[in-house]
Amino acid sequence: MTVLPLPVIPLLIILLSISFALSPLAKAAQYSVLSYGAMPDGKTDSTKAFAAAWSQACASTQPATISVPKGSFALGQVRFQGPCKNNAILVRIDGTLVAPSDYGVLGRAQNWLIFEHVNGVTISGGTLDGQGAGLWSCKNSGKDCPSGATSLEFSNSNNIAITGLASLNSQMFHIVINACQDVKVQGVRVSAAGDSPNTDGIHVQSSTGVTILNSRIGTGDDCVSIGPGTSNLWIENVACGPGHGISIGSLGKDSQEAGVQNVTVKTTTFTGTENGVRIKTWGRPSNGFARNILFQHAVMTNVKNPIVIDQNYCPGEENCPGQFSGVKISDVTYQDIHGSSATEIAVKFDCSKKYPCAGIKLEDVKLTYKNQQAEAACSNAGGVASGLVQPTSCL
C-alpha cells in the first residue's frame, strides 16, 4: 500500500466532501406532496398540492425530488410547466394518482398530467388511474362524447425518463411523447380493456431519440403508435395484447408532413392483437415518408394481421376515395418473425399506386394460419425475400 504524506490527507477529505456536496444524491432538495396539503385518502382534491410541490421543485437551483407516498391521491389536471431552474427533477411515486371518474371534468381538456418545456425529469414508480370506463361506454354507445384526456404527456422536453410506472384505464392515450428529445421509457405497464376506444398505450410524435424498453401493454388501440416526425426510435422487449399492435401511423393525413425514419422494433410479442407490426398511411396526397425501419424477432400468437402495410386508410371514406397515398415507404426489414395468424392473409403489403413501397426485405418469416399455410398479398410492393419465408413472398 502507498503511504500518503500527512498534509495530503486533510486535503483529500476536503476534496471528497466537496464532490459529495455537489453530487445529486447528496443535495437533492426534497419536496413531499404531503407538505403542501395532499391527502392520500383517495377523496381530497390534491391538485393544488401537486402544483405547489412542482413549482418549488422547478424553482430550486439544485436537483430536486418530489415524493408521492403510498396511498391514493385524487387529482384534476396538473400542468408541470418548465423551464425550471435545475435540470434534475425526480418525481418518485409510491402511490396511485386517480383522475376524476366523471369525464365531464377532463373530457375536453386534452390532458390530465402534462409536462411541458422541461429538461431532465424522471418519473419513477407509481400508478396512474385514468378512470376512463365512463367515457369509453359513452363512445361505444355511439353518442356524441368528448374526445377525452391523455393521462400523461411530455411535450417540448428533453432528457426524460419514465420508469416502473403503471398506467391504467386512460380516457384516451395513456402516454404521449410529443416534440421531445432523448426519452427513455422503461418497465412500464399499460392496461385498459380490449374494447376501449382510442386508448393507445404509448404514442410518439415529432420526437427523436426515444427508447421504449421492457414494457407490457394491453389496451383497446395501438400498443405503441408512431406519428409523423419521429426519428431514432428504439423499441425492445415489449409485450402487446390485447391491442392493435405496434403501428407506424397514421401518416399522410396532412399534405405537408414530417417523415418517420430510423425505427427499430425488436424482441416483441403480440398476443391476440388486431395487428402485429403495421405501417398505415392515409390514401391521399402528402410529402411524408417512412424509411429505415427494422422489425426484428417478433412472436405472433393468433394475430389478425401479423405483418401489414396499409396505404389506403380512409376512415369514413371521406376526402380520399380514388386518391393515392403520397407517403413514400422504403427500406423496411422484417427479420425473424414467426407465429400464428388469426386470418388467412398473414402478410399484406397494400402500397400506394403512385409511390410503390421500395426496398422491403423479408428474412426468416414463418407465419401459419390454423396450423397450415397462410397467404401473402401484395400490391405495388417491391423488395426481396431471403432465408425461410412462409407464406411464400409476393414481393
Ligand X SMILES: *[C@@H]1O[C@H](CO)[C@@H](O)[C@H](O)[C@H]1NC(C)=O
Catalytic positions: 244
Q: Which of 56, 231 has the CB closer to ligand X?
A: 231
Q: Which of 189, 291 has the CB closer to ligand X?
A: 291
CB atoms within 10 A of CB 144: 6
Q: Are 366 and 348 in contact (CB under 8 A)?
A: no
> CA-based diameter of the chain, in Å?
87
Q: Which of 237, 262 has the CB closer to ligand X?
A: 262
Least distance from ligand X to the Cβ atom of residue 207, Å: 11
SS3 178: strand
Q: Which of 135, 210 has the CB closer to ligand X?
A: 210
Match 401459419 to its residue by C-alpha cell: 368
Least distance from ligand X to the Cβ atom of residue 233, Å: 6
If we measure between CA atoms, which residue out of 118, 114, 145 comes closest to residue 132?
145
Question: Residue 266 to residues 212, 269, 297, 389: CA-CA distances in angstroms?
Answer: 11, 9, 6, 18
Q: Are 126 and 162 in contact (CB under 8 A)?
A: no
Which contacts (CB < 8 Å, 24+ apart) does range 184-187 have? 184/160, 184/210, 184/211, 184/213, 185/161, 185/210, 185/211, 185/212, 185/213, 185/215, 186/161, 186/162, 186/211, 186/212, 186/213, 186/214, 186/215, 187/163, 187/213, 187/214, 187/215
Least distance from ligand X to the Cβ atom of residue 253, Å: 25
If we measure between CA atoms, which residue out of 213, 267, 214, 274 comes closest to residue 241?
274
Least distance from ligand X to the Cβ atom of residue 138, Å: 38
Q: Which of 32, 264 has the CB closer to ligand X?
A: 264
Q: Which of 124, 232 has the CB closer to ligand X?
A: 232
Q: Which of 234, 324 has the CB closer to ligand X?
A: 234
Distance CA 23, CA 306 (A): 48
Which residue type is seen at 86?
A: N
By CB under 6 A, name the binding residues for ligand X.
Answer: 232, 234, 262, 264
Least distance from ligand X to the Cβ atom of residue 232, Å: 4
379: CB partners within 8 A, 6+ apart = 349, 350, 351, 353
Least distance from ligand X to the Cβ atom of residue 262, Å: 4
Distance CA 254, CA 284 (A): 9
Least distance from ligand X to the Cβ atom of residue 26, Å: 32
Q: Are 245 and 278 in contact (CB under 8 A)?
A: yes
Name the pairing type of β-strands 357-369 and 372-373: antiparallel
Distance CA 75, CA 138 (A): 22
